[in-house]
Structure 1
Amino acid sequence: MKRSIATSCVMALGAAVAVSLGSPAIGATMSFQEDVTNGGSYQAGAAYIDNNSPDTVFDNASAFVGAITPSTRITRVLLSFDLSSLPAGATVDSVTLNMKARSEDGSSTSEDHSITLHELTTPFVESEATWNSASTGNAWTAAGGDFDATVLSSVVANPTTLAEGDTLAFTSSPDLVSLAQSVADSDGTIYLLLDSDSNNDDDRGLFRLWADDLNPDTNPDPSVAHPELVVEFTQIPEPASIVLALFGACALGFVGARKAV
């Protein structure tokens, strides 16, 4: 009896490993959005920084990016998303950032501007970040945020024609996927920055976007306003869980066989 159980278990374990190793990758999508993901418990980071108020924290419902006063008063947006809930071993295939417009800016010049997405290379604390500092007592290496010049994605829009709720979708790119994969592999947080070419222009070009500290009584529902990072990934089933389950079943089989004898 014992030999029969042992033989069966070895064969079953071998088959399980072979099947799982040959299983096709499973595609899935996860959305990371404050107050929405994980039943509303997920927390992200969103704030804007203003060189005209270099030591002021702007951690509220708004996310401003672009020039308020041409070439002199400029703003950028800081974002962060914890990706540690992605499954271990997941291969990131696509990453999209969705930002929602809060309103048009009637004082801006009516012309198209680009908003560019960059990797923020120094982590920030949402409730402490300013133009001068990533967090209290920790100055940026360069005022205005430490970010890589590589453009991960971009959007072209006219700040005077955006309506509340319009989506600015920063579509996936190889560089953005590579960054997200690196962060996912380390169970970490991805830090991003939004900049605009209007910050170097001779005309006002301010984009008024939603951040993530909305007043539930007067602002839209978080699911239609908060910044959202959408990650598409594939995952190959791990043989370990199957093997462990079969191993446990085999152990129980041995115990039962011993009792029967």
Structure 2
Amino acid sequence: MFVLLALLCGFYSFVSTAGGFGPPGALIFVFAAGAAMGAVGSGQEILERVAATAVVSVLAWVICAVTEAFRHPATPERGFPAEPPRPVGHRFLAAVRLALGAAIAIFASDAAGAAHPAWAAMGAVAVLQGAHLHVTMGRALQRMAGTALGALLVWLLLMQAPSVWTAIAILAVLQFATELIIGTNYGLGQILVTPMALLMSHLAAPHAASVAMAPERVLDTMLGACIGIVIAVLCSTLDDRIHLARHHAARTET
């Protein structure tokens, strides 16, 4: 299952970049795959999970379609930001690098006795998704700091033993705030994303050690992010290092 999860990290990374899906890219698929790694009692339970996910997905699609008229359309003067497409070979190598980093993070987390190695994979994927080295490094630091603060926030929330409906209401507020913030500052967004992930895990398994999940989330994320940084540097291409040097020179001049 760990090897399959690592391969899926690379596969979904390639699909996301090839399809131009935009943020969060492969990360949302990895989150779903990690959540699906829990114990399953029967085939019927699998069908129920798939059906519930499909119903909510259709609901989300309908809401987006109904509210599409309120979106600001792109214009020649103000187009939506988009990165230029990279060659297929570059995307494939990036996917292989990401799968390698995810695999190392997963097995390192499991060897350390963590209960959720998929969280370490998410930390590595989030870092290695960066198109350039300076983006990768900045994202790693922001993700580690944001996750630590977010875990502290959810720890305080779970200590109050919130009811199911209270947790759902908090999730709705956090989701709204995340959409407003994460496009402006990745680190601040992580402060809100982390409580959402842990609250959803709490709702899925309310009898688990919910409060203990917070420090593990921090440790797994830091482990994955650090491994992602090392893999990004060791597997960086000459183009990556030239772009980093140019970026550093431009910042020095300004």
TM superposition score category, shorter chain reference: under 0.3
Q: Which has the higher contact order (CA 8 A, sep 6+)?
A: 1
Relative to the length of structure 1, the TM-score reads 0.20
Higher strand proportion: 1
Q: Which has the larger radius of gyration?
A: 1
Query: Normalized against structure 2, the TM-score is what?
Result: 0.21
